[in-house]
Amino acid sequence: MELTQEQLESAGYSLKAAPDDAWRNYDELNPIPGYFQFDWLSARHPDLYHKFALTSVGLIDKLHKLVDLTGLEVVDIGAGTGRSTMGLATKAKRVIAIDIYESVAAYGKRLVRQAGLQNVTYVRGDSANLPIRNDSMDACVRVWAEVDYLEAFRVLKPNGYLIDLGPAPARIVGQLDSLLAEVNPELTTEIAPADEIDPLYPASDSFISEETWNGVRVTPPILLHDFTYEADYGDYVEAAAIFGRLYGPKVKRYLLDNRKSTVFSRLRIVISRVKK
């Protein structure tokens, strides 16, 4: 039986996941969880979110070209279902995956176990109170997740990497931003120029010479790397189903009408080193 929104919220971080593929059946006019409710959607339907989160793969693949994590102890804050975690684990000595939702952490643990990864530990925890010792991690990574920078600073070793991965500023879903601005103008306040979403649009690097980043001490310069990424969902009907459940019927219809199985995004990686 489908939960009400009130029941979802009362369950809080201990919310149980629905069966795989249950997200495919919902009331388009009154979905529960509602469209754009990403925390509740990922908590109730982690399999949906895992299918969607292909930009995390692109971000981690690009990160490996910018930073050598070989042999490092890494914490993945807001790890979700493990797209980023498993990518980090291909290089890192050990990855601690932190997520506050019980259902999401359980789903991630299952995938890590199925992949046979021995260097990943999933821990249910709050980004504002990381269950990690002071000065113990070589790198803190967050992918599309909220992070408490003071907590990240606390657990990092001197000169440890503080790494942010997500959309370039005001580029929530890149190719779909103009459509999302019609559906949810509060989410999409600026639309990327069309050329930025072209797969041939070049990557760019810029540097910030500040000695603080989000309230913590860092050693300048801070690297900002922007690039365009093509997420390929394999089949346009499946892409429409995934994006339609997350963003609503107008986005679903756009992908079906245009027979698009790929979605282009402009992404950003920010790399700094903490100063202690």
Of 196 and 207, more confident: 207
What is the rounded distance in angstroms from the CA atom of residue 217 to the CA atom of residue 70? 25
Three-state secondary-structure class, residue 156: strand
Q: Can you read off the two tokens belonging to residue 159?
A: 């000169």
240 within domain boundaries = no
Q: Give the Cβ contact number of residue 112 at 10 Å.
A: 22
In a domain, 242, yes or no: no
pTM (2 d.p.): 0.94
Alpha helices in 28-184 (DSSP H): 38-44, 46-52, 54-66, 83-88, 102-115, 149-155, 177-183
Q: What is the pLDDT of residues 46-78, one digit of tens each?
A: 999 999 999 999 999 999 999 999 999 999 999
* Inside any domain, residue 16: no
210 pLDDT tier (thresholds 50, 70, 90): very high
> Is 145 a domain residue?
yes
> Would 38 be classed as within a structural domain?
no
Share of the chain above pLDDT 70, in %: 98
Judged by average pLDDT, the poorest of 123-137, 181-195, 238-252 is 181-195
User: Is 136 a domain residue?
Assistant: yes
In one-letter notation, the amino acid at residue 271 is: I
pLDDT at 181: 82
Confidence class for position 191, pLDDT limits 50, 70, 90: confident
Rounded distance, CA 120 to CA 178, Å? 38
Q: What is the pLDDT of residue 18?
A: 95
pLDDT of residue 139: 98
CATH number for the domain spanning 75: value is 3.40.50.150
| Domain range enclosing 131 | 51-167+202-229+268-273
Q: Report how many domains make up the chain.
A: 1
In whole angstroms, give the CA distance from residue 246 to residue 33.
9
Neighbouring C-beta atoms of residue 259, cutoff 10 Å: 11
Decide: helix, strand or coil at residue 29. Answer: coil
**257 within domain boundaries:** no
- Does some domain include residue 55? yes
Give the dihedral sign, CA 36/271/120/227. positive
- pLDDT tens-digit map of 177-188: 888 888 888 777
- CA dist 26 and 46 (Å) reads 16
